[in-house]
Amino acid sequence: MPSGSSENGGIKAAETAFEIIEVLHDQQPARLTEIADSVGIANSTAHEHLSTLQDQEYVIERADGYYLGLKFLNHGKRAKEYYQQLIEVSQPALQQLVAETDEAVNLVVEEYDRAVYIERLTGERGVPTNSWVGKRKSLHTLSAGKAILAHLPDERVTQILDSSGLPVATEQTITSRDQLLQELETIRERGVSFNDRESHEQIRAIGAPIVVDGRPYGAVSVAGPAKRLTGEYFRDEISDLLLGAVNEIELKLTYA
């Protein structure tokens, strides 16, 4: 089994174990040889790591391959507790937005330079997308992510961009730092941000930041099919509803 330190000072064996977990997250079910090839380790090494993960109940082997164990579900719920107050005070406003728009409504925060969905409600006309609670995406590709970026300190934005870059999700994704910084300034002026097929070719979204005492707690977005979210409905009507919802959340956080 690999041991020693990795290039960034971490423990190599631990990094390998987490790489296996990531492979299972993306590819499960996965067989031993597939896991070993994806991580770039010998089959015997992969087997040792998998055996340890099984002993700790983080991985389970079934007839068609290895899966993540349900122990992660317990940890996920525990990790979400940090944001429990934000989720609780946001619920009524999110539910109202769903009732008013009948679209998908998301509550998003920033962690480790990424946008993370911590709550998602969907109306009857809401369509399935590649987003769900726990999903992590690049901040600059999302309306909610850009809303958060627009209200972070300049040095924090620079740190995020230096670390993560501007990976491409679609042909509409912003890939120029100057263009993004200019858009963040516009977002601060108008109060809302737009995702015009920048994270998914067929989805548009409107986002607004939740800001209390100058600190962005997260952001709320309304997302739907690009062919339905158009014109004044997209640019004005949903924006007004969203700003009202976010203002309600901010007041509740202020006086909670």
Residues 6+ apart with CB under 8 A from 68: 21, 24, 25, 28, 58, 59, 60
Q: Could you tell me the domains of the chain?
A: 12-69 (1.10.10.10), 77-255 (3.30.450.40)
Averaged over successive runs of 10 residues, the pLDDT of the chain (256 residues) comes to: 50 90 93 94 94 94 95 90 94 96 96 96 82 92 98 97 96 97 97 96 96 96 95 94 97 90
Query: How far is Cα 33 from Cα 31, in angstroms, rounded to an integer?
Result: 6
Q: What is the CA radius of gyration of the chain?
A: 20
Q: What tokens appear for 169 in the block?
A: 């999700």
Q: What is the pLDDT of residue 7?
A: 56
Question: Would you state the structure tokens that stand for residue 201, as one six-digit string?
Answer: 């070719």
Cβ-proximal residues to 161 (8 Å cutoff; 6+ apart), any chain: 177, 180
The strand pairing partners of 120, in sequence order, are 106
